[in-house]
């Protein structure tokens, strides 16, 4: 049996930076509170969770699904929120298939710093679209990734794919709601 690996050496610095996960400055709490989903890269809001583009993607379309509530462990997520996370994962994968036509997906959680969690205190699920041959020599020899689409373009394509029911919020709308969700 052959063993395949996904190598991402450019992420080592990000993963090793233990100071970036500050419970007082949680990105998954701060982003929805901005009230401007385009700036926050939130492509969809559910009742208990939201779907956001990864600011440090492995591939174009790398999404994360996270609860609005600040929860650090899968074991502590309320059942209704867990169900919504997986329904949003299914929806996100369908939208990614519609837009990008990936050959497969990596889907999962990194719970705890030792497991590779970049944001340790707010659980989130990664949805990473994959294509045959989607890695090349650039990250290894030149410390560069070749991303064929900007985050802004990924946001536009994916927020459109989720459609008008996506529950996105503009900066103007956030001023009229007290909850910020």
Active-site residue (options: 122, 124, 126, 144):
124
Burial of 150 (0-12, 13-18, 19+ CB in 10 A): exposed
Would you state the pLDDT for residue 154?
87
Q: Domains plus CATH for the chain?
A: 22-163 (3.30.428.10)
Q: Is 124 among the catalytic positions?
A: yes
Would you state the pLDDT for residue 25?
78
Would you state the pLDDT for residue 20?
55
Would you state the pLDDT for residue 16?
58
Would you state the pLDDT for residue 169?
53
CA-to-CA dists, residue 15 to 10, 26, 40, 55, 137, angstroms: 10, 16, 21, 14, 21
Q: Roughly what angle, to the nearest 10 degrees, separates helices 151-162 and 79-100?
A: 110
Would you state the pLDDT for residue 181?
44
121: its two tokens: 């205190």
Would you state the pLDDT for residue 29?
95
Separation of alpha carbons 61 and 102, rounded Å: 10
Q: Is the pTM above the cut of 0.75?
A: no
Would you state the pLDDT for residue 31?
95
Give Cα 164 to chain centroid, integer Å: 20
- Give the pLDDT of the chain (181 residues) as one tens digit per residue: 455 555 666 566 655 554 555 556 799 999 999 989 999 999 999 999 999 999 888 889 999 999 999 999 999 999 999 999 999 999 999 999 999 999 999 999 998 888 888 888 999 999 999 988 776 544 444 455 566 678 888 888 898 888 865 555 554 554 444 344 4
């Amino acid at each position: 049996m052959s063993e395949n690996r996904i190598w991402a050496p450019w992420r080592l610095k990000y993963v090793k930076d233990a100071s970036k996960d500050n419970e007082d400055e949680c990105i998954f709490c701060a982003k929805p509170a901005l009230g401007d989903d385009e700036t926050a890269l939130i492509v969809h809001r559910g009742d208990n969770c939201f779907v956001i583009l990864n600011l440090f993607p492995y591939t174009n379309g790398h999404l994360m699904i996270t609860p609005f509530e600040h929860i650090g462990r899968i074991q502590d997520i309320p059942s209704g929120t867990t169900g919504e996370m997986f329904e949003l994962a299914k929806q996100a994968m369908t939208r990614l298939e519609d837009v990008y036509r990936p050959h497969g997906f990596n889907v999962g959680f990194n719970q705890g710093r030792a497991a590779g969690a970049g944001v340790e205190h707010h659980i989130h699920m990664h949805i990473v679209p994959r294509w045959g041959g989607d890695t090349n020599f650039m990250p290894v020899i030149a410390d560069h990734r070749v991303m064929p689409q900007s985050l802004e373009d990924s946001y536009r394509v994916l927020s459109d794919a989720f459609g008008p029911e996506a529950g996105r919020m503009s900066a103007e709308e956030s001023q009229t709601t007290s909850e910020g969700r």
